[in-house]
Structure 1
Amino acid sequence: MRIRIDAIDLPGLTCPAPADGNVSAYGNIHVAVQRRDRPAELLDPQPGDAKSATWTLECTAIASPTGTDVKGPYVQDRLGRRFIYLSWGTVDESGVFTMFRRAKLMLDVVPAEVLAAGARDGLLVARLGLTDACGNPLCARVVPPHITWTAEPAERSAAAGPTSGG
């Protein structure tokens, strides 16, 4: 199975930093999918002013007594709760990404029938906007209605383009 994340409404290249920090604003911000247990390993960072961003993750979906269990190199597992991290960071002149916040796309809120259909048909799709109510990068737990999950046939996704990028 694959999980495709379709993101729109990115916040731009700058945002205010917390008042208690040592900078007043973050600049040249980018967003990427973080690899499990490897915060520095990011999948296809996209600039914060991109029109949209899309990432496709290879996963495995296994039927379990409690439903469908999703695992993969970009699927986090903390205390039995699965999620995908979108990491926000600044990119300096030498291309170094420094994370300043993350969004958690929670997989345990995907309706069971949608998750099962995604496993059966080959593709689970997350659609969301990446700007919060204050105009900043979306962070914290992301659950409906801020994200929608659907299942689609994998063939349609294969025709849609690359496996990551925006």
Structure 2
Amino acid sequence: MLDPHELLQVARALAAGPSPVDAELRRAISSAYYALFHATLKMATERFVGAPHRTTSAYALIYRGFVHNRMKDVCRAIDRPILGQRHQTLLQRTRVSPEARTFANAFVSLQALRHRADYDPQVAFRRSDAVDACDQAESAAQALAAIDPVELTDILALLLVEARV
């Protein structure tokens, strides 16, 4: 099973080398995003299916059911002081917690940074970019874990499914 903590350790190790080359910095940034992505999937799947059921088809189906773009769109929608009407209706609240906003903001920015690292050959990254990405992923995962359980369940469900109002 993918371990988000191991992904973050790998990202930090790539960035911490004595003189990291471009490919190492790009992989560090990409791995930092994926550490947060998989921390989110693990949390959601354990919440909806249960950690004891990691070897079941249901666990794999839920885990693999998350879509990067949908998650980004939801995160953009909840990273605001007052939710839009649609998300107020879906989440039955007018705003989300500061922890949820911290997570959402980091998810969107790390995904955009990962796209640049993975696909834009003209961007030159520095060690500080990779270290910052690792720090942001770690802080976002901590913020995600600190969200109130009821709010967290609602947000994780919304990240997974295309909700209808």
Name whichever structure is richer in strand by fraction: 1
- Normalised TM-score (structure 2): 0.25
Pick the structure with more helix per residue: 2
* TM-score between both structures, scaled by the size of structure 1: 0.25
Of structures 1 and 2, the one with the larger relative CO (CA 8 A, separation 6+) is 2
